[in-house]
Structure 1
Amino acid sequence: MIKPFNRGLAAMLLSLVSVFSWSHSAMFPDGFEYDDSNEGALPSGMQALMENQQAATLCQGGSAAGYPCKNVDLMSFVAKADMGGGSANLNDIWGYSDPQTGAEIAIVGRTNGTSFVDVTAPESPVFLGFLPSHNNGSDSWRDVKVYNDHAFIVADGSGNSSHGLQVFDLRSLRNLPSPGQTLSESAHMGGFGNAHNIAINEDSGYAYVVGSNQCSGGLYMVDISDPANPQYAGCFSSDGYTHDAQCVIYAGPDTDYSGREICVGYNEDTITIVDVTDKFNPVQLSRTLYQGSQYTHQGWFLDDNHSILIMNDELDESRNGHNTTSYIYDVSDLQNPVEIGRYVGPTAAIDHNLYTRDGYIYESNYRAGLRILDAADIAGGQLSEVAYFDTIPNSNSAQFSGTWSNYAYFASGNVIMSDIGNGLFTVRPDWDAIQNPDPDPDPDYCSAGSDNASEEWISQVDLAGFSHSSGSATYSDFTAQLVNLNEGANAVSLTPAFSGSSYGEYWKVWIDLNGDGDFTDSGEEVFSSGGTSSGTVNGTLNVPAGSEGVSSRLRIAMRYNAAPSPCGSFNYGEVEDYSVTIGAGDGGGGDGDPVTYSNTGSYSIPDNNATGVSSPVDVDRGGASEGIEVSVDISHTYIGDLEVDLLAPSGAVFSLHDRSGGSADDIVQTYSLDAGTEASAGQWSLRVRDRASRDTGTINEWSLTFQ
């Protein structure tokens, strides 16, 4: 969870926390709303599972005991009320494998302490005991990691400012007099109070406390080689607050750092890499910003090669208005990380924690649950979702509730998940189904009709001069694009993602010429493939004369038409809608034609902030930009506070508004720019900075038209 306590509002927020309690629509101390109103009622299928713990529930037909799933079976569930600690909500989770007994133990963070559950027999979990928080405080955030048969626990929030590092000897769980014990910590270290997270490098025997009230919230290093006697070892504070971190003995391709201890910090707005080999002289190697950042949250190396990492941003979904996004970085040069791709998931849920194992990524995405991604093509910046288990049916919205985290490192292959308002889930991925998928398309796609990326099977679209590739073997998601067409014949090329399959693809394209939302009017079916094809279909769009100036929608549909067809004869495997403008030009819709790109997402403008907020658009038009029109719609009182700039892919900055207008409200205006020979293709951004206090506002939408 986001924890910006190093900000100027910290004192005020801490005073507010003292009066809040966990309830429906309670407020997190950082100001973000937690809503557990949809978590209280379990699906009907769960009651039978809880009464008969010997029977796991397979994922069949997209459901397991009422929970949406794909290739993940539900082994068991333990309600939070049955894990000690009363009704306290859950937060972080980690696991422990006892080297002597082989037991697999779930270590579950709570707002008031830590629960320990034996999940060795996953269908029959056993609650072992509850460890109260140090000094019996209550904290919104708790984090735990394991080293040398000991759990190391930190806590964050206003409830226990003296928590420090709590240590628990996990070997004591072997000989409990009976399950359900109240447990006692085995050691404690002061030196800091609250802390948001802890990372442990098991290869070095060092723990790294982050987000504490020491080291400016940076890396507070602790020698835990003797778990019963942890000792302060050093501090890195040069880049301020660190929200989360991973520390390793580096084994990647950057030979300058082979065998050295490296920490990757996720520092609210950057990925910050530090050499911590010398604990009293840590060296910052790089500090990497990225486009569209809102809150750099957490990430993990892809397994042990240390050349690629995957990272999440906890506020980009809600603020930038896009689906769950994972950022992929090539870190083969530790001093120069390079973003190589972004994976955009099928839901709008906020991402929280992710971990990697054996070429797969295990993401906990709040209201969308556990998502397992295949990283086989990650070097090319691509990921693909192969499995999921969702603990909140019927909602994947961008809210701070649902799954907090997961642990996927048990030898059994079972995965444990903490759901904030519900409890502990133990699930098992169906690896046979994941690694040997049915080669036939899923019949569920026959009724697809949304812009959900998981329901889209068109991999390449070429319409006149417009061209866009999904970069994926299985889907595309182009619906935010605006396509420029012209009267007369226009070339079209459509490529199915599953080219070469046993099913034929039959294509139709409509344009809603009169803008009434009905595609059945005469003349609005402007292309038909005329038959089936297992590969790319080429033809022409017949845009009727007299259509110039119409701004409407274009619809592309594909269905499977070869026997045995999983779809009915009139059902389409995919439907995609595009915005479309029909106008004059060179007749081909190419570089000589006007073309517009837009971002209709709402972005809050931070008050009195030199960084501001940026709203991006991705442009795939070729050629030079030359003349550009920029239309902006900004709501803001006292626009004399604002600086509005257009940022080009090359790094060029075009000033649109520089604190003029005094006390006037709002900017709704179109600016004409002479961009010279500036290249069109790449990511453009509208940046808005508020350089004075008190007045606030939002970017409502903006567009970029190339002449």
Structure 2
Amino acid sequence: MKRKSLVPALLSFSVVFSGLSWGHSAMYQDNYQYDNSNEGLTAAQIRLLKGPGVLSNLCVDGLANGYPCHNIHLQAFMPKADMGGGSNNLNDIWGWTDPVTGKEIAIVGRTQGTAFVDISDPVNPVHLGLLPGHNNSTSSWRDMKVYNDHAYIVSEASNHGLQVFDLTQLRTASPGSVFTETAHMSDFGSAHNIAINEDSGYAYIVGSNQCSGGLFMVNLLNPGAPAYAGCFSADGYTHDTQCVIYQGPDTAYSGREICIGYNEDTITIVDVSDKSNPVQISRSGYSGSRYTHQGWFLNDNQTTLIMNDELDESGLGNNTTSYIWDVTDLDNPNEIGRYVAPTAAIDHNLYTLNNYVIETNYRAGLRILKTDDIANGNLSEVAYFDTIPGSDSAQYSGTWSNYPYFASGNIVLSDIGTGLFIVKPDWDAIENDTPPPPPPVSYCDAASNNASEEWIAKVMFNSFSHESSGTTYSDLTHIIVPLVTGSNTVEFTPQFSGTSYREYWKVWIDFNGDGTFADSEQVFDSGSASRTAVSGTINVPATVVTDTRMRVVMKYNSAPSACGSFNYGEVEDYTVSFSP
């Protein structure tokens, strides 16, 4: 069973610059640009393929209502159009539990504001209302945290500042309300993220247009009147941070308030106990850094943290990678391992709960990692819920973030392009560590640029036949072609809008189901180009994966490949099954 791949710590390095004021050369946002192309089959299409057995929201046989899953059940889905913002996308998410009523509220960032959804009945969520951005400003980036029953919200929109919203007014709100901010702080304009240390009552604004993008500190002890408290700019732009009262093993900092900054290419630790004189403790780099994005302490022992790099997947071709750090010595953090997931998706926000890592990885959805061997730099995946069934590729769509801290055990996920997911892990199954099914496969793209002059008119496999009209690529995987082990007769017929041309044919079958068309899986080659139908046989080995992908390619005048584009012809993909 393929569960993890570890890059040993010996292959990486950690460089620490203690006490230096060496800032980054430039301030820049993360690389996010919404991209929902090539997402493949939707959950609805999977339901049609698999039949009524997957209509349950329970995770059964690897699906919950069409969504790939393992040990996580779907409670409900609320489309973005039902949250007061029309077709505008989602971004970050947080949560609040009303201390009086016990109601659980999802606080959902949107392009044009912040939505509030009551998930106390998780299968029947209720949209309570929307708080528009300050001065009705819009942005793809919005972040929010909660302190003392108030939500504090920042945005990349110019002059947005800090919005304050009294959450207790949700107790009497009518569904679908439009709210106004309770208070506003204008000491900064745009900002990327906000962190709040609830033990100290201070907020830390990062990625703003103040403090060189570093820690902009705000006193929240009077929740409705936030006040500037200090600034740390020595290391330049901070993308995200976690700030705590330190209770870990490094006695030199016991009881001090520290912030772990994720600063584009380093982890930077700062003592912020004295807001007027914050002190950098250490600054640690690592091999292969592309964009140090975000991270979280594993638990209250504060000896280990997990972090992600948002650009190492798309920039280096890595699979989703989580970095494990030993921070028992705050002056000398040390990377001890890397978990490399079986998916290629870009990682985004992660949190920790009961010694599990709860990751949100764009097109791979929610991933839960077990940490029982983390001392040796090892993690293992024990649960997932994927909101984009058709693709785990390194693109910016899918889940942005999650909030895993509701007492009910429900987790809320913000899917950028679709809406709010409410899911619940099956912790009994997770504790038993049942191996997850293999991840869904994705295939390379192939298509012609022009199918108006020649196209695939008809394919025949034994007694099966299918006729079609011309498109550059036809996804016909809802059609199952029955083949037998051994020899199968085939015939392929072209059609032309006018002049007939010489066409070359090839066919591949992904016999081992690994998502690739290997040279050994080429089962038909016309051998030359022809203006008329071509025929022959396909041999199927006795040991094959059932219900796998077959690709038929017709290309003008020269031999085609299984992947890529070409000028004239057509590509058709089918599902094939096998019988003796």
- Output the TM-score relative to the length of structure 1: 0.57
Identify the residue that residue 406 of structure 1 maps to in structure 2: 402
Aligned residue type for 2:333: P
Residue 253 (structure 1) aligns with: 249
- CA distance 1:255–1:66, shift in 2 (3 Å): same
Distance 1:391 1:38 in 2: 14
Higher RCO structure, 1 or 2 (CA under 8 Å, sep 6+) = 2
d(CA) in 1 for partners of 2:441 and 2:40?
A: 31
Deviations 1:319-350 (A, max 9, x none): 11110000000000000000000000010000
CA deviation vs aligned residue, 1:131-169 (integer Å, no higher than 9, x gap):
00001011120000000000000001xxx3111000000
Between the aligned partners of 1:98 and 1:266, the Cα distance in structure 2 is 31
- The Cα offsets for residues 547-585 of structure 1, whole Å up to 9 and x where unpaired, read as xxxxxxxxxxxxxxxxxxxxxx9689xxxxxxxxxxxxx
Q: What does 1:231-270 correspond to in 2, within 5 Å?
A: 231-270=227-266
Q: For residue 115 of structure 2, give the secondary structure of its aligned residue in structure 1.
A: strand
Q: Which runs of 5+ in 1 are unaligned?
A: 1-5, 11-28, 49-54, 451-514, 519-568, 573-707
**For residue 57 of structure 1, what is the amino acid of its counterpart?**
N
Deviation at 1:448, TM superposition (A): 11
CA 1:415–1:56 in 2, change beyond 3 Å: closer, same or farther?
Answer: farther
Q: Contact 2:30 / 2:291 at 8 angstroms: preserved in 1? A: no
| Identical columns (%) | 67
1:300 aligned to which of 287, 296, 299: 296
Q: Matches of 1:259 and 1:135 in 2, distance apart?
A: 40
Task: Give distance in 2, aligned partners of 1:268 and 1:32.
Answer: 14
Amino acid at match of 2:217: M
2:205 to 209, 213, 216: 209
Q: Deviations over 1:187-239 (max 9, x none)?
A: 10111000000000000000000000000000000000111010000000000
The separation in 2 between residues aligned to 1:516 and 1:321, in whole angstroms, is 23
3-state SS of paired residue (1:317):
helix
Q: Could you tell me which residue of structure 2 aligns to residue 338 of structure 1?
A: 334
Cα separation, 2, equivalents of 1:184 and 1:448 = 46
Alignment partner of 2:163 out of 161, 166, 178 = 166
Other-structure match for 1:151: 151
Cα deviations across residues 638-667 of structure 1 (Å, max 9, x unaligned)? xxxxxxxxxxxxxxxxxxxxxxxxxxxxxx
* Alignment partner, residue 115 of structure 1: 115
Residues 447 and 350 (structure 1), Cα distance of their counterparts in 2 relative to 1, 3 Å cut: closer
- The answer on whether the counterparts of 1:40 and 1:422 sit within 8 Å (CA) in structure 2 is no
Q: CA deviation at 1:87?
A: 1.3
3-state SS in 2 of match to 1:92: strand
**Corresponding position: 1:82 with 2:82:** yes
1:36 offset after TM fit, Å? 2.3
Summarize the alignment of residues 466-505 of structure 1 with structure 2, pairs less than 5 Å apart.
Answer: none
1:63 aligned partner: 63
Once the two structures are superposed, the pairs formed by residues 538-557 of structure 1 within 5 Å of their partners are none
In 1, Cα distance between the equivalents of 2:69 and 2:438? 16
Residues 254-403 of structure 1 aligned to structure 2 (within 5 Å)? 254-403=250-399
Distance 1:61 1:197, change over 3 A: same
Q: Contact conserved, 1:447 with 1:571, CA < 8 A, in 2?
A: no
SS at 1:289's partner residue? strand
Q: CA deviation at 1:60?
A: 0.5
Q: How far, CA to CA, are the matches of 1:431 and 1:285 in structure 2?
A: 38
SS in structure 2 at match of 1:434 = helix
Structure 1, 33-42 or 344-353: larger mean CA deviation: 33-42
- Aligned match of 2:525: none
Q: Where does residue 44 of structure 2 map in the other structure?
A: 44
User: Equivalents in 1 of 2:332, 2:519: separation in Å?
Assistant: 51
- Alignment-mate amino acid for residue 361 of structure 2: N
Alignment-derived partner of residue 140 in structure 1:
140
Q: How many residues align?
A: 424
- The one-letter code matched in structure 2 to 1:377 is D
Distance 2:255 2:330 in 1: 13
Inter-CA distance 396–42: structure 2 relative to 1 (3 Å threshold): closer
Cα deviations by residue, 1:49-104 (Å, 9 ceiling, x for unpaired): xxxxxx96100110011110000000000000100122110000000011110000
Residue number among 220, 226, 229 corresponding to 1:230 in the alignment? 226
Change (3 A) 1:362 1:219: same
Cα distance change on mapping 1:89 and 1:39 into 2, 3 Å: farther
Q: 2: distance between equivalents of 1:199 and 1:420?
A: 21
Match of 1:421 among 414, 417, 423: 417
Contact 1:76 1:425 in 2 (8 A): yes
Give the direction of change, closer, same or farther, for the CA distance of 1:154–1:32 in structure 2 (3 Å limit).
Answer: closer
Where 2:391 maps in the other structure, the secondary structure is coil
Would the aligned equivalents of 2:76 and 2:421 in 1 still touch at CA under 8 Å?
yes
Structural mapping, 1:615-626, within 5 Å: none
Q: Which amino acid aligns with 1:36?
A: N
Q: Check the 8 A contact 1:56/1:75 in 2, yes or no.
A: no
Q: Which runs of structure 2 are paired with 1:500-579 in the superposition (5 Å)?
A: none
Q: 1:7 to 1:422 in 2, by over 3 A?
A: farther
Give the aligned residue type for 1:132: P
Quote the residue 2:524 is aligned against.
none
How does the TM-score come out when normalised to structure 2? 0.69
Which stretches in structure 2 are left out of the alignment for 5+ residues? 1-23, 49-54, 444-517, 522-541, 546-580
CA RMSD of aligned residues (A): 2.9
Contact 2:361–2:400 (8 Å) recurs in 1: yes
8 Å CA contact 2:350–2:359 kept in 1: the answer is yes
Aligned equivalents of 2:134, 2:25: Cα separation in 1: 26
Deviation at 1:445, TM superposition (A): 6.8
CA distance in 2, matches of 1:38, 1:165: 37
The question of whether the paired residues in 1 share the 8 Å contact of 2:343 and 2:439 is answered with no
**Matches of 2:100 and 2:318 in 1, distance apart?**
47
State whether residues 271 and 278 of structure 2, in contact with CA within 8 Å, keep that contact through their aligned partners in structure 1: yes
Residue number in structure 1 paired with 2:172: 175
Partner amino acid, structure 2, of 1:165: L
Q: Is the 8 A contact 1:154 1:194 kept in 2?
A: yes
1:56–1:76 contact (8 Å) kept in structure 2: no
Whether contact under 8 Å (1:107, 1:115) holds in the other structure is yes
Q: Check whether the contact 2:40–2:391 (CA below 8 A) recurs between aligned residues.
A: no
Alpha carbons of 1:121 and 1:219: their partners in 2 closer, same or farther (altered >3 Å)?
same
Letter in 2 for 1:371: R
Change (3 A) 1:30 1:347: closer
Q: Please report how far the alpha carbon of residue 37 of structure 1 lies from its aligned counterpart in structure 2 after TM superposition.
A: 4.0
Contact kept in structure 1, 2:27 and 2:236, CA below 8 Å: no
Verify the 8 A CA contact 1:164 1:195 in the aligned structure 2: yes
The within-5 A match list for 1:649-668 is none
Contact 1:56 1:123 in 2 (8 A): no
